Structure 1
Amino acid sequence: MSAQEAQQELLEEFEMFDNWMDRYQYIIDLGKALPDFPEEWKTAEYKIEGCQSQVWIRPEVRDGRIHLDAISDAAIVSGLIALLLRIYNDRTPQEILDTPPDFLNKLGLDKHLSPTRSNGLYAMLERIFTLAKAQ
């Protein structure tokens, strides 16, 4: 599945929810399913600045694709990470760069997150795109 197809699938999943409380809960549940993130990866090198909560993203290039491991100490932010990983994890740098995060506006996340959460979300996106540009 391409990153664009993953965005479309995500949008369709969110259409099932009638209200934002249910959507928030779904996002939190997605975050709870993130893979383990070892303590030794929680370093300044992987920490994302600009987030209200603690966030770490550890990149690794595997067969020309960028693999991302990530975690946050906040439930909703871990869920946002899960959304980003669903779209951008294990993609080629070019596919990442060719896939703007249109799903954020289409889902309405930009309107339903606090300004500090929004800033953190865009800081995570900036890191992902910076990693792709560096490859």
Structure 2
Amino acid sequence: MTESTASPAALSEIIDDFAGVPDPQKLELLLEFSDELAELPARFHGHEAEMEQVVECQSPLFLAVELEGEPGPDAVVRLYITAPREAPTTRGFASVLSQGLDGSTAREVLDVPEDIPAKLGLQKALTPLRLRGMSAMLGRIKRNVREQAGL
């Protein structure tokens, strides 16, 4: 049983990918994820101010969380996150969360451990300030899910 078993399947796969590379290459893998951050749907273009800014991130990062289906633990979570290309570590972690959590149920997202940056093994690659920003991003997602799902 791996440490990632409490996470949704997609996030568990990402955690396993990071676990499979040596520490010096973890930052490179994070930067690869930065190139994979999905574009925002057209309805959000020019409306980033309507999204929630994660001020703990060193770069401007905005996110929106929506639930599909009836509010509750089985509602499907949809994540929309934007960060500038000039902030590849922030974009990389946003992409990890987006790819790992989008499409999961509200309960699965709320059950994700808080220490995802540590599970990715990024403590040696990133400063504590960046790690706090990443944790804050997950915290905001969870707070939004909890409020919208009524949990």
TM, length-normalised to structure 1? 0.83
**Equivalent residue runs for 1:1-16 within 5 Å:** 3-16=7-20
Aligned length: 133
Quick one: which amino acid aligns to residue 80 of structure 1?
F
TM, length-normalised to structure 2? 0.75
- SS of residue paired to 1:112: coil
2:146 is matched with which residue? 133
1:31 is matched with which residue? 34
> Which of structure 1's runs of 4+ aligned residues deviate more than 4 A?
none
More helix by share: 1
Q: Deviations over 1:79-118 (max 9, x none)?
A: 0011112332222221111221454323322343212211
Quick one: which amino acid aligns to residue 55 of structure 2?
E
Range with bigger deviation, 88-97 or 102-111 = 102-111
CA pair 103-122 structure 1, distance change in 2 beyond 3 A:
closer
2:109 is matched with which residue? 96
CA pair 41-31 structure 1, distance change in 2 beyond 3 A:
farther
User: Is the 1:41–1:58 Cα contact (8 Å) retained in structure 2?
Assistant: no
**C-alpha distance in structure 1 between counterparts of 2:56 and 2:115, whole Å:** 21
Range with bigger deviation, 83-92 or 64-73 = 83-92
- Percent identity reads 24
**Unpaired segments ≥5 residues, structure 1:** none
RMSD: 2.2
**Unpaired segments ≥5 residues, structure 2:** 1-5, 70-74
Q: Deviations over 1:2-24 (max 9, x none)?
A: 9443343223312442342x221
**Equivalent residue runs for 1:1-135 within 5 Å:** 3-20=7-24, 22-37=25-40, 38-43=44-49, 45-63=51-69, 64-73=75-84, 74-134=87-147, 135=149
Range with bigger deviation, 100-109 or 60-69 = 100-109
